[in-house]
Amino acid sequence: MLNREVLSASEVVYDGCQEQPIDLDISLPDYCPDIQRILKCQVLPSISSRSVSGDRLEVEGTCTVRVYYLDAGGTSVHCYETESSYLAAVTLKQPVEQPRIYTMTRVEYVNCRPTSPRRLDIHGAFSVCARVCGRADLEIVASAEDENMEQQTKEFSCNLCSGFSQQPFTVEDTLELSPGKLPAETILRTDVCAVLKTAEPMQGQVMAAGEVRLHILYTGGEENTEPESMEYAMPFTQLLDCEGVTEESTCRVQLAVAGIEIQIHADYTGESSAFETHVHLLSSVTNFQPKSMSALSDVYSRTYELNIARKQKTLESLTGIISDTCSHRFSVQCDSGLTKILDLWNDPCTVTATVDNGQLQFSGKLGICVMALNQENAPFYFERTTEFTCSKPIETQFDTRCSAEGTVLNLSYRLTGGEIELKAEILLTAEVYELQTYKFITDIEEDTARPKEKDTAALCIYFADTGEKLWDIACRYCTSVNAIRDENGLAGDTVETRGMLLIPM
């Protein structure tokens, strides 16, 4: 009679990227002025849904292309924006039950050229990257009910994924212009990110609280005026459902911006004084539950030879979710006679994390985008890339795998001559998993055709070396560890001093 337990672990069934092409031939609408010079073409892919059906992964979303350009006068910045939907489909190596789907987008390249003052030719590509994990249950032997079997068990504890859910929700508000700001006529550019501050597990739910940070660059109604910018923070609290969550759970909540809708709102005087804003977010909740188990690590029979089936399994156990704010200072040289910055933003930063010598090491790359005025008061654009590192102490006992991400919370600058001194506040978050590899016993059968040969003597004499395991000696003589301990007055599992042992048969 074998007592079995089911070990619920995870298996990666897909980890890769699929490239999505961008091929556009655009004629500007009548309300857009002619193009004199293109400043920047920006590609902004987003994900609105992701699902697995059988062995097919589907990721849907939209791709926004923005073109910032100067009109015929060469002094006013304009923006043309177009949006299209996409579907990325991937065939997985096997059907997946209860999948966990983690996705992100990455811009590969974009080329934009005007073929005439009113036509644009745009070619580029972005990648949809996904990691799909499925449930891989393993039935292991915890113990055997047989008085002739000697058993050795191993206790282990881990923090395994026990639930995953996705849920969309919307954060909305009417955002007023600050006093003294020009009324808004056209929105040139928006930046939005969702920042999670707390995630409190409850029974079957997680209470998530945070804020949506929004940057809006807009033009006023007056001619030859420079663009204006506004910064907003939209707080939110949201109950997120996730099966299996308890107060003892560790929950990883990730938020992605799926879309944004902004309408310029006029007050009772007819002046455009506010922005009606709807930010659509897609949440992912991963529930990790602590689990302690006992598994049979070795067994032998005193009467028959055994056929033992084993299977090796590596468990990813969450050891911690670590967040830290990194302050990165750097400077950017500008050779174009920069006199004023109109707008400053960053591309999504790429972050990796590793554990080395008791330190969690973050490293990342950040792209900085600058729209400015030169000495002739003409707008121009340039971008630079900077690298950053950050470390935190961490204690681990096994090999590790880290999954990291970074969000720029604030980007500030000071202009000194032809140099820009910048400071980026970056929120870094890493999931650290310990990789524990075990060889589990999955089945045991007695081979009754091969009985053990037993010595007819009541006792045998054995000369043991220091540190030798009593289990190995008992297995060799088809006796029990407790019998050897009792006969020789031993307490531990190993031989403490070299010498003679009496082995009861």
Q: Above 70 in pLDDT, residue 495?
A: yes
Residue 340 lies in a domain: yes
Q: How confident is the model at residue 336 (pLDDT cuts 50, 70, 90)?
A: low
Are both 326 and 287 inside the same structural domain?
Answer: no
Pairing of strands 205-220, 228-241: antiparallel
Are both 273 and 186 inside the same structural domain?
Answer: yes
Are both 27 and 64 inside the same structural domain?
Answer: yes
Are both 170 and 286 inside the same structural domain?
Answer: yes
Are both 196 and 281 inside the same structural domain?
Answer: yes
Would you tell me how many other CB atoms lie within 10 Å of the CB of residue 465? 9
- Compute the average pLDDT of residues 260-278: 85
pLDDT of residue 224: 67
Q: Domain boundary residue among 143, 177, 198?
A: 143
Average pLDDT, the chain: 91
| Structural contact between residues 104 and 144, judged by C-beta atoms closer than 8 angstroms | no
pLDDT of residue 268: 67
Q: What is the pLDDT of residues 140-152, one digit of tens each?
A: 999 888 888 889 9
Q: Above 90 in pLDDT, residue 1?
A: no
Are both 61 and 180 inside the same structural domain?
Answer: no
- Compute the average pLDDT of residues 440-468: 86
Q: Which two three-digit tokens encode residue 366?
A: 């950040």
Please give the Cα distance from 472 to 399 (Å, whole number): 29
Residue 312 lies in a domain: no
Are both 79 and 189 inside the same structural domain?
Answer: no
pLDDT of residue 428: 97
What whole-number percentage of the chain has pLDDT above 90?
Answer: 64
Residue 397 lies in a domain: yes
Are both 278 and 365 inside the same structural domain?
Answer: no
Are both 267 and 215 inside the same structural domain?
Answer: yes
The model's pTM is: 0.88
Q: Domain boundary residue among 143, 170, 187?
A: 143
Check residue 242 and report its DSSP letter. Answer: -
Are both 233 and 281 inside the same structural domain?
Answer: yes
pLDDT of residue 490: 87
Are both 139 and 167 inside the same structural domain?
Answer: no
Q: How many domains does the chain have?
A: 4
Q: What is the pLDDT of residues 147-196, one digit of tens each?
A: 888 899 888 888 888 899 999 999 999 999 988 888 898 999 999 999 99
Q: Domain boundary residue among 108, 143, 178?
A: 143
What whole-number percentage of the chain has pLDDT above 70?
Answer: 98
Q: What is the pLDDT of residues 348-371, one digit of tens each?
A: 999 999 999 999 999 999 999 999
| 300: amino acid identity, one letter | Y
Residue 55 lies in a domain: yes
Q: Strands, E, within 177-249: which ranges?
A: 184-201, 205-220, 228-241
Q: 186: domain range?
A: 159-293
Give exposure, 150-165, as e/b (b: 16+ Cβ within 10 Å). bbeeeeeebbbbbbbb
Rounded-to-5 percentages of helix, strand, coil across the chain: 5, 75, 20
Are both 139 and 191 inside the same structural domain?
Answer: no
